[in-house]
Amino acid sequence: MIEVYKMRIESLESMKFNSQQVIETYRTYRDPNPLFLLQQKELIVNEEIGIAKTIGDIIETYVDYLSAAGNLNQRPYKNYLIKP
């Protein structure tokens, strides 16, 4: 399942990079259309939102797993979301 999330994040990051390249290339034109640039920036923001949602999904799935395994209620309490 992590591989699916990883592929999703990589895909969104690739799309974001491509959108940034389009903006940089388009800005070199003599009279760039501001509406087109704004639409490209909107795509970048939407891709960043998609990345954040995917990371949130990963954390939520991990917490659900910990809960199902009974690790969240064990004493002493341990923060599983930080690196050891």
81 belongs to a structural domain:
no
Low-confidence ranges of the chain (pLDDT < 70): 83-84
Which pLDDT value is given to residue 84? 64
Which residue is associated with the tokens 């999703």?
8
Output Rg (C-alpha) for the chain, integer angstroms.
19
Which pLDDT value is given to residue 2? 75
Per the rule left: phi > 0, alpha: psi between -120 and 50, beta: everything else, 70 is left
Which pLDDT value is given to residue 49? 94
Which pLDDT value is given to residue 80? 74
13 belongs to a structural domain:
yes
| CA quadruple 50, 52, 58, 64: dihedral sign | negative
Residue 22 structural domain: 2-69
33 belongs to a structural domain:
yes
Which pLDDT value is given to residue 77? 78
Q: Is 20 within 8 Å of 37 (Cβ atoms)?
A: no
Which pLDDT value is given to residue 45? 93
Q: Which residues contact 15 (CB under 8 A, 6 or more apart)?
A: 43, 47
Number of domains forming the structure of the chain:
1
41 belongs to a structural domain:
yes
Which pLDDT value is given to residue 56? 92
Instruction: Please state, in angstroms and rounded to a whole number, the distance separating the CA atoms of residues 21 and 27.
Output: 10
35 belongs to a structural domain:
yes
Which pLDDT value is given to residue 75? 77
